[in-house]
Amino acid sequence: MIGGIGAIQFKTAVDGAEQASPGLLQGGIGTQASESVGSSFAEVLSQAATKTVNTLQGAEQMSIQALKGDADTRQVVDAVLSAQQALQTTIAIRDKVVSAYLEISRMSI
């Protein structure tokens, strides 16, 4: 079954609700100290990765239910397409992060 991505450790939310930094997502410029903005960015990435893993696990469970005859074909297709979209988005974000890292590493000091 799908467990995690590499060596990333995921933290589950206490109440199950998704939280985001209000200053960054509501169109405002973050006014907090750089350390707290950095941790907020890490939390947002962690939540996005957790949501992607949950989507993949849900699609996997739906596929297993379909094999048992407990799920409708449309539900399975919707779950698999949603998982595919989430995975493609995650891969695109990873590619951008790697590209940015390589660009920064090539800068001369």
> What phi, psi does 66 have (nearest 5°)?
-65, -40
Q: Give residue limits of the domains in the chain.
A: 35-69, 70-108
What pLDDT score was predicted for residue 36?
55
The C-alpha atoms of residue 97 and residue 50 are separated, in whole angstroms, by 17
Amino acid identity, residue 13? A
pLDDT above 50 for 25: no
pLDDT tens by residue, 43-83 = 988 999 999 999 999 999 999 999 999 989 999 999 999 99
Inter-residue contact 47 to 18 (CB < 8 Å)? yes
Please say whether the beta carbons of 56 and 2 come within 8 A. yes
Q: What is the pLDDT of residue 19?
A: 43
pTM greater than 0.85? no
Q: What is the DSSP letter of 26?
A: S
5: helix, coil or strand?
A: coil
